[in-house]
A and B are shown apart, each in its own frame.
Chain A
Amino acid sequence: MEMLEEIQKLKDEATSALGTLKSTDDAENFRLRYLSRKGALAQLFEKLKEVPKENKPALGKSLNELRTFLENEFETSRNNLGSKSPTSDGSLDLSIPGRKRYTGRKHPLTQTADEIKRIFTNIGFGIADGPEIEDDYHNFEALNFPPDHPARDMQDTFFVKSEEGKYVLRTHTSGVQIRVMENNKPPVRVMMPGRVYRNEAISARSYCLFHQVEGLYVDKNVSLAELKGTIAYFAKEFFNEEAKLRFRPSYFPFTEPSAEVDVNCFICGGKGCKICKYSGWLEIMGCGMVDPNVFKAVKYDENEVSGYAFGMGIERLALLRYGIDDIRLFFENDLRFLNQF
């Protein structure tokens, strides 16, 4: 049975030759020597023709197995030649960290806005959008800011250079309320996020623009108690289960009654610290019941429906939530900042 021995011998020899392959030239030589049409393996197949018939099936099977084995091994070895990866020398160092790739992130303000939207869409709010360059009517007048009213001083306004005073960079997203109600019959339940502008000197505490989310719910028998309950739900979702709220009477021309909402300072636990200006409370939004004059402006029947509206600054909520001390960081886009969120 010398044929069988030859097969075994070829297998041993070829296997050890495979281990010494170092270049593509080596590989080509190996292929020519063992696997080519005139190589060692082909020669054995030639020899197979000469063996006695009764031995042919067994030897043929062995030879075919050897061919498959060598071809596979050769393929693997040849593929490994190209790269100098640590797998090629057999000692794989798995402690090497993976290759660095970019990890993307959404801006912290987007993340905060998304969270607010999620909380309110869960309870049935839709989402609407509006223009940033707004006319005086939608930004002020329809919201019950009469011309020459001191309430207009509450928001330092940028005017667009064109028909003086007629167009402004919106100072709040409340104008979208008007647009939504003008075009949709009640009931209405909608959130309105967007960019707003204030003509204020830029500092750690204020920027020339920021983002707001406005909420509006108009239906039969909407009450202040309902508004309080909804904001309490929001605060528990956004801050934590223990969030305590305080509704302080305030004034906005487009709501009556109006309130400012404070949450108990989660930094000092209400004992008083620098962030809450030693009051134990942090202001988070303004809100109130939609003023009848606003309903008149959008032709809703004030005797049929009532509603609440609220508005919060996304930057403010993000500043509070993350303890950020400078609003300008949001717009500098320093990656060392952005990558923290």
Chain B
Amino acid sequence: MKISRKWLQQLVDLSGVKDDDIASRLTMLGVEVESYENFATKYDGFIVGVVLEVEKHPNADKLKVCKVDVGGEVKSIVCGAPNVAAGQKVPVGLVGAMVPHNQHDPDGKPFQLTRAKIRGVESEGMICSANELGLGDDKSGIMVFDGAANQGTPLSDYLGLNDTVFEISLTPNRADCLSHLGVARELAAAFSKKPIQKRVKITEDGPSINESVKVDVAAQDLCPRYSARLVRKVKVGPSPKWLKDGVESVGIRSINNVVDATNFVMLELGQPLHAFDLKRITGHKIIVRRPAKDETKFTTLDAKERNITPDMVMICDREKIVAIGGVMGGMNSEISEDTTEVLIESANFNQSSIRRTSKALGLSTEASYRFERGVDPNLTIRALDRVSEIIAQTSGGKLAPGIIDIAATKFLPKRVELHVDHVNRLLGTRLATGEIIRVLESIEIPCDKKSETVIMCSVPTFRGDIERDVDLIEEVGRVYGYEQIADSFQTKLNFDTRFHGNTSLDELRDLLAGAGFNEIMTNSLQPADVAGFHDTAFVALANPISEDMAAMRTTLLPGALQTVGVNLAHGLKDMKLFEIGRVYVVSEKEQVIGRFVESPKVSIVLSGAADPTSFDRKESKFDIFDLKTEIERLLTFLKLDSWDFISYDTTKEYEQSLKLFVNGMELGIGGRVGKAALQKLSVDQDVYFAELDLTSLLALRKSTKRFKTLPKFPFASIDLSFIVEGQTPAAEMMNALRNAAGEMFRDISVFDIYSGEGIPDGKKSIAFSMALGSEERTLNDGDIAGFIEKAEKTMKVKFSAELRRQKN
């Protein structure tokens, strides 16, 4: 919202106060000033000039050399505008002036005018376009002023821009500051000034309003107060300069003297007003009611047909709807050039009703914005008097005697009791009773001292946000100044041990980062078809930003592939990534929140080189066993002691895939990602991906076991090599050997697989390295020989495997 300093000065004495102080004090009172612009200084060095002569530039076809009278002095200025001509009154920037907007710069950065030679001709200034001055979009030519301008007049004076405009960002509770009056009140408190009370001068004339107009408020729940005044013999026309400049200075378009007056008063006092052409109100009767069943459409002032719903509040005459209460008037009763009798509505509407209406219509107006935040119900009459004063002054209208005022109740100040010790306890201060009263009264909250420590406050109706003692405590803190409250840091040492967070996730991140993985974080919103491809029970959004983000992810895979794609596009080919994040599905059963299940997952992504090329070794690419290595690293870290991988050939996501099972539960899937998915993202190298379910894995995690005495006797290691059918799974053979070793088993791994010369067709040689041991003694040759015999037998029976004798 824009607030004008000139306007504020009508309401509070700000003499000698710097713009910067206004901005910082408001901000520190919770009325945040985002920026401010001082137009007087913005146009320092710009004046109105008169073009005396225009000649062609000797060295350039498109340029002209102009003689410009800038008030007692004639300057020679080179100008490229096609529309420059002798006799024009134009804005001139002199050497040293900052041109607000460079129209040749893509960012439009301001630049300073210097004495420069343009194609060999010296230029002592610049004639500016509206765009260059930041006064409009037109950059086709220079601005030309009408006859009223005098050469030498400072541009800011000519434009009436000797003002500072503050851009204020208000939190929704501070509806009272949606006006110059409200902001002035804050400034009065900040600078210890009294607000200026202006007397409104009105004279009533002719028959009373009650003889011409009737008002009936049928829906008083939606419209607690409806006040109106009538002005006759109005001549609608353009607004005088002060009124036009007033509304335009804060960004409102000037329309005519009547509409501008209503807007002006809203901006000044915060009361939205609406002016009806009484001639067009059938039966001269206003009825405030809900729409009838058959009233479903209404055309608002902006010429748009709106859909009406039954709980909206309508302003009607005897026949028809004439306005949507608190939101926007209708075309059928708007002020036009031939309007002579103006009925001015100054009403108060129910906050949530207006908000619902505004949402339903998709229409937020200056009026609805204020009403949904709350307008002082005691402002209606003051606003009517002020607007009548202006309309009478600017349109020659005669104000009808009397006011129509239909109110549901008397709107009295709220009485709120405030305990001084509560103030000090919550703020951590030691404020005295008198100090608290002084602070509250500075923002116009009268206080009565009920006792030494209890204050009775009368909260004026313009502060609808203050209802409880705690709200008053905030006011005390805010106006006294948070800065004045000394920091305290004496935290009692009651460490909260109930909440440990998920430290396992932190540990996994550390493990994976330590194992050379880069952690990634990807968007949890996806296109619905992507989410649905992986799991049809996906969570869809009712109001997505775009189709690309219409659903919650069902797997971390698409984000991972996108990441691989992004990096390949930058020429980075080797990557080892992980993500810990949630996936979301709708379940059959009721959950804690609806039927939504959020499961934490960990993904592993391998692509490119497992071992990059080095001076003495060849590069090796990641393969499925690297993926298994990483999964097994995780499982080992979590101290799981057994798991199974079941392999599948092709699934919808993978070309080579594995499912991980622990204790019979499926805990994850992974593999080499299928070509179709890769092509979509222009990934032209293999990607190995696995996603594991963290809820189950972490539940299965074994806590630190009790310490086991370290082995007293050394292990024996033996190598065994078998010839078996080519299809025999190594994992099963390893299990058989493990079982054969029984108590003696310590470790096993595959160290060689070979087929070809020396091995019968269709067979392979597979060699295992085993560690055997005993708790009681060092194993002797007999123990080893016994095991080898047993192993040979078992393997023969189970796999028809032939033990290859070692050649010693």
Q: Are A190 and B30 in contact (CB under 8 A)?
A: no
Given the known interface contacts A134-B593, A150-B373, the answer about A306 and B172 at a Cβ–Cβ threshold of 8 Å is: no
Is A226 in contact with chain B by the CB < 8 A criterion?
Answer: yes
A283 to chain B, nearest CB (A): 10
| Cβ contacts A256-277/B at 8 Å (1 or 0 each) | 1111000000000000000001
Q: A230 — nearest CB in chain B belongs to which residue?
A: B489
Q: Are B496 and A126 in contact (CB under 8 A)?
A: yes
Q: Are A248 and B501 in contact (CB under 8 A)?
A: no
B304 to chain A, nearest CB (A): 22
Of B351, B427, B495, B539, which one neighbours A124 at CB under 8 angstroms? Answer: B495
The interface stretch among A15-23, A34-42, A73-81, A151-159 is A151-159
Query: How far is it, in angstroms, between the C-alpha of A132 and the C-alpha of B594 when the chains are bound?
Result: 12
Of A123, A167, A259, which one neighbours B482 at CB under 8 angstroms? Answer: A259
| Cβ contacts A170-195/B at 8 Å (1 or 0 each) | 00000000001000100111110101
The interface stretch among A4-12, A25-33, A53-61, A325-333 is A325-333
Q: Are B498 and A126 in contact (CB under 8 A)?
A: yes
Q: Are A148 and B352 in contact (CB under 8 A)?
A: yes
Q: Are A334 and B570 in contact (CB under 8 A)?
A: yes
Of A105, A146, A167, which one neighbours B593 at CB under 8 angstroms? Answer: A167
Is B2 in contact with chain A by the CB < 8 A criterion?
Answer: no
Is B456 in contact with chain A by the CB < 8 A criterion?
Answer: no
Given the known interface contacts A126-B498, A167-B596, the answer about A158 and B541 at a Cβ–Cβ threshold of 8 Å is: yes
Q: Are A331 and B523 in contact (CB under 8 A)?
A: yes
Q: Are B594 and A257 in contact (CB under 8 A)?
A: no
Best-surrounded residue of B496, B497, B519 (most CB of chain A within 10 A): B496
- Determine the chain B residues whose CB is within 8 A of the CB of A309 once the complex forms: none
Chain B 446-488 interface residues, beta-carbon cutoff 8 Å to A: 468, 470-471, 473-474, 477-478, 482-483, 485-488
Of B491, B509, B518, which one neighbours A335 at CB under 8 angstroms? Answer: B518
Q: Are A208 and B428 in contact (CB under 8 A)?
A: no
Query: How far is it, in angstroms, between the C-alpha of A230 and the C-alpha of B541 when the chains are bound?
Result: 38
The interface stretch among B143-151, B608-616, B756-764 is B608-616
Q: Are B543 and A162 in contact (CB under 8 A)?
A: no
Q: Are A190 and B496 in contact (CB under 8 A)?
A: yes
Q: A339 — nearest CB in chain B belongs to which residue?
A: B518
Is B806 in contact with chain A by the CB < 8 A criterion?
Answer: no
Of B477, B521, B592, which one neighbours A107 at CB under 8 angstroms? Answer: B521
Q: Are B524 and A199 in contact (CB under 8 A)?
A: no
Query: How far is it, in angstroms, between the C-alpha of A332 and the C-alpha of B520 when the chains are bound?
Result: 8
Instruction: Say what secondary structure dominates the interface of chain A.
Output: mixed
Query: How far is it, in angstroms, between the C-alpha of A190 and the C-alpha of B496 when the chains are bound?
Result: 7
| Cβ contacts B520-558/A at 8 Å (1 or 0 each) | 111111000000000000011111110001001000000
Contacts between chains A and B (CB distance < 8 A), count: 273
Given the known interface contacts A133-B584, A225-B429, the answer about A107 and B520 at a Cβ–Cβ threshold of 8 Å is: yes
- Determine the chain B residues whose CB is within 8 A of the CB of A123 once the complex forms: 491
- Determine the chain B residues whose CB is within 8 A of the CB of A233 once the complex forms: 489
Best-surrounded residue of A109, A247, A277 (most CB of chain B within 10 A): A247
Of B351, B483, B567, which one neighbours A334 at CB under 8 angstroms? Answer: B567
Q: Are A161 and B541 in contact (CB under 8 A)?
A: yes
Q: Are B497 and A228 in contact (CB under 8 A)?
A: no
Is A338 in contact with chain B by the CB < 8 A criterion?
Answer: yes
Q: Are A208 and B616 in contact (CB under 8 A)?
A: no
Q: Are B521 and A124 in contact (CB under 8 A)?
A: no
Given the known interface contacts A133-B594, A249-B482, A257-B473, the answer about A100 and B541 at a Cβ–Cβ threshold of 8 Å is: no
Chain B 275-293 interface residues, beta-carbon cutoff 8 Å to A: none
Q: Are A228 and B488 in contact (CB under 8 A)?
A: yes
Is B242 in contact with chain A by the CB < 8 A criterion?
Answer: no
Query: How far is it, in angstroms, between the C-alpha of A193 and the C-alpha of B497 when the chains are bound?
Result: 17
The interface stretch among B63-71, B433-441, B572-580, B673-681 is B572-580
- Determine the chain A residues whose CB is within 8 A of the CB of B525 once the complex forms: 197, 208-209
Given the known interface contacts A162-B594, A166-B594, A189-B496, the answer about A251 and B171 at a Cβ–Cβ threshold of 8 Å is: yes
Is B728 in contact with chain A by the CB < 8 A criterion?
Answer: no
Of A232, A330, A334, which one neighbours B521 at CB under 8 angstroms? Answer: A330
Is B623 in contact with chain A by the CB < 8 A criterion?
Answer: no
Is A91 in contact with chain B by the CB < 8 A criterion?
Answer: no
Q: Are B518 and A228 in contact (CB under 8 A)?
A: no
Is A149 in contact with chain B by the CB < 8 A criterion?
Answer: yes
CB-based closest 9 A-B pairs? A225-B428, A126-B499, A127-B501, A249-B30, A223-B428, A102-B516, A229-B489, A251-B171, A257-B474
Residues of A that sit less than 8 Å from B by CB? 83-86, 96, 99-107, 109-110, 114, 117, 123-129, 131-135, 146-151, 153-154, 158-167, 169, 180, 184, 187-191, 193, 195, 197, 199-202, 208-209, 219, 221, 223-226, 228-230, 232-233, 246-251, 256-259, 277, 289, 291-292, 306, 330-336, 338-339
List 17 A–B pairs whose Cβ atoms lie within 8 Å, in order of A's numbering: A99-B614, A104-B512, A104-B515, A104-B576, A107-B519, A133-B593, A135-B594, A159-B542, A169-B541, A180-B499, A223-B426, A247-B483, A249-B30, A249-B477, A257-B426, A257-B477, A333-B566
User: Given A110-B519, A202-B545, A248-B27, 16 other A-B contacts at CB below 8 A?
Assistant: A101-B516, A114-B506, A132-B584, A133-B594, A158-B541, A160-B539, A160-B596, A162-B594, A197-B525, A208-B545, A223-B427, A225-B488, A226-B488, A229-B487, A331-B521, A333-B522
Residues of B that sit less than 8 Å from A by CB? 27-30, 32, 35, 171-174, 351-352, 355-356, 372-373, 425-429, 468, 470-471, 473-474, 477-478, 482-483, 485-502, 506, 509-510, 512-525, 539-545, 549, 552, 563, 566-567, 570, 572, 574-577, 582, 584, 586, 592-596, 598, 611-612, 614-617
